[in-house]
Each structure stands twice: as structure tokens, then as C-alpha cells.
Amino acid sequence: MALLILGGNASALTLPDDNFVSGWIKPVKPLIYNRESLSDFNDGDAEVFLELGFQQLQVQQYKDGNAEVDLEAYEFADPNGALGIYLMKSGKETPSADVGARNTVSQTQLLAVKGKCFIQVMNYADDKKAVAIMTKLAQQALANLSATDTATVLLRLPKAQMLPGTEHIFCGPLSQQAIYRLGKGDVLQLQDKIFGAAATYADTNGNIYTLIMVPYPDAASAQAALANLQKNLDPGFQVFGKTPTGFAFKDRQAKYALVELKDGVIKLQLNLARKPSPANK
């Protein structure tokens, strides 16, 4: 169950006070949810949030007369987890320069991520004026947070030829299989600890493919993950071109893929239109 917060918040994330904009107040105490109780609030996505390192959620209602906006402030163990959830929910971004963090804003909601925190501000009135209220609320909530999101796993992905709005971060089978199903279970041995990044690209001929990059903490864990992937790959895939550092396969949709291990990073090119040729090493 959710618990009422009776005291102040010890984290750097701030729940804005009454009159953060004149007339807007907190009519009730905020609620807090932890890893054990998150499903009481967010049953549908709770397992993915937990996989990505969710730690705590604070929910605070704000009202001005009959107008209402709610702030949901999620805290994660790692900036990659917060950014992963943001990317999963944001879709095509329409950002506001006033928020002070990566964000996307519509008339009904604002999503933002900064450091280890992801926030969602919901507007329940059909009123364009609420956009300014949501923006101010997000700005103040995130003001004291460090912008450590520049160190995320997304930096592993090349920017050239990447299609806008296709970035993903994953940390286990639930978040990874939303991108591409390689096999049953945690085939990349992420263990809810190792983050990978993915995006969609267009090559020089206009062919669309998916690139996944997974950096491992050491060479041994990377080699073990490669062996586990090959062993537990979807049995409907046709593997060929095996080398000590990779292999290729043809998937159930007759698309090709290339898997390569180099410098502790597993690189997967998926949905390739042409048959790849793995390098002999």
C-alpha cells in the first residue's frame, strides 16, 4: 500500500510548495510508493519500472479552484533507468525550453527527465493555460537535481543516420524484448544491472535497421553473454557465419542480423535487408 509522507523529502527532488504559481495549493499530503507498493499505483508498467531500477514514487496533487494538475515524481537507482522510462513514454518529443531538462509537453501532460528522476505532470482540465502551470511545476521540481544524464548508455549509439525519436534504453528481458525478441528470458545476461541502448537507423540506400549496443563491465561477462545469447537464441532463427567473436542469423521474418563482440561491447544489427558477412577473427 501507499504511505503518506508525514515529513520532508530527503531527496534532491523537490515537491513545489503552495503558490508555486499564485493560487495553486497542495490540498492533500503527497503519497509515496516504493518497490514493493508501486503496482498499487501503476499496475500495468510496474514490472518494467522495477527492471529499470525504480526506487520511489511521490504523487502530489495541486489545485486552484476546480483546476487540477498532478505531479508524479519517479526516482531511479541510475540515470539510465530514468531516461529509459522517459524514452519509452515520450514518443515524438515536443519540448519546452523553459523546463530546464529533457522534456516533452502537450496540453494534457508533461514528461521530463533529469539525472535519476523522471517526472510526469498530468492536466485534467481542457485548458491550454495549464501548460504554463505544468511547465512551472516541472521546472521547480527538477531545479535542485544534477544533470547527470549526459553519462547514459545512449552515448554508445552513433548519431549519424539515426532516425529521430527511436532511442531506447533497456536493462532486462522486459525492456529489451520491447525492441526485439532474441529469445526466451534474459538472453543478454543483463540481470537488471547492465544497461543497453538501441535505436533505428537508415543506411545510405534507405534501408531501415535496428542497432543495439550493450557494454559489459569486463571481458569475461561480455564473452559469457555472447555464448548465452547464441545458446538461447530463438530456435526459429537460422544461425550462420559463426566466429569466436560473433555470428549472424536469419529471423522469422526473413530479415538478417549480425552479432559482434568487441572491447567488451556486444553490438547487434537487426532487421537487415541483406545477408551480412561476419568478419573472421
What's the grid cell of residue 223?
564473452
Q: Is the pLDDT of residue 280 over 80?
A: no
Q: Could you tell me if 27 and 137 lie in one domain?
A: yes
Q: By residue range, what is the domain housing residue 133?
A: 3-148
What is d(CA 261, CA 279) in angstroms, rounded to the nearest whole number?
11
Instruction: Residue 43: name the closest of 64, 29, 57 by CA.
Output: 57
Percent of the chain's residues with pLDDT above 90: 83
Q: Could you tell me if 189 and 262 lie in one domain?
A: yes
- Asked if 211 and 261 touch (Cβ cutoff 8 Å), the reply is no
- Is residue 280 in a domain? no
Quote the number of domains for the chain: 2
What pLDDT, on the 0 to 100 scale, is given for residue 91?
Answer: 87
- Is residue 102 in a domain? yes
Q: Could you tell me if 188 and 174 lie in one domain?
A: yes
pLDDT tens for each residue of 108-147: 999 999 999 999 999 987 777 889 999 999 999 999 887 6
Residue 184 is which amino acid?
K
For residues 216-235, average pLDDT: 97
For residues 9-25, average pLDDT: 84
- Asked if 246 and 237 touch (Cβ cutoff 8 Å), the reply is no
Residue where a domain stops, chosen among 114, 132, 148:
148
What is d(CA 227, CA 187) in angstroms, rounded to the nearest whole number?
9
What pLDDT, on the 0 to 100 scale, is given for residue 7?
Answer: 37
CA angle 270, 216, 274 (to 5 degrees): 15
- Is residue 163 in a domain? yes
What pLDDT, on the 0 to 100 scale, is given for residue 252?
Answer: 96
Q: Could you tell me if 129 and 215 lie in one domain?
A: no
Percent of the chain's residues with pLDDT above 70: 93
What pLDDT, on the 0 to 100 scale, is given for residue 278?
Answer: 67
Q: Could you tell me if 128 and 179 lie in one domain?
A: no
pLDDT tens for each residue of 240-253: 999 999 999 999 99
Q: Is the pLDDT of residue 10 over 50?
A: no
- Is residue 175 in a domain? yes
CB neighbours of 8 closer than 8 A, spacing ≥ 6? none
CATH number at residue 79: 3.30.200.100
pLDDT tens for each residue of 63-108: 999 999 999 999 999 999 999 999 999 988 999 999 989 999 999 9
Residue where a domain stops, chosen among 148, 169, 196:
148
End-to-end CA distance of the chain: 55
Q: Could you tell me if 100 and 168 lie in one domain?
A: no
Q: Is the pLDDT of residue 3 over 60?
A: no
The pTM (predicted TM-score) of the whole model is 0.90
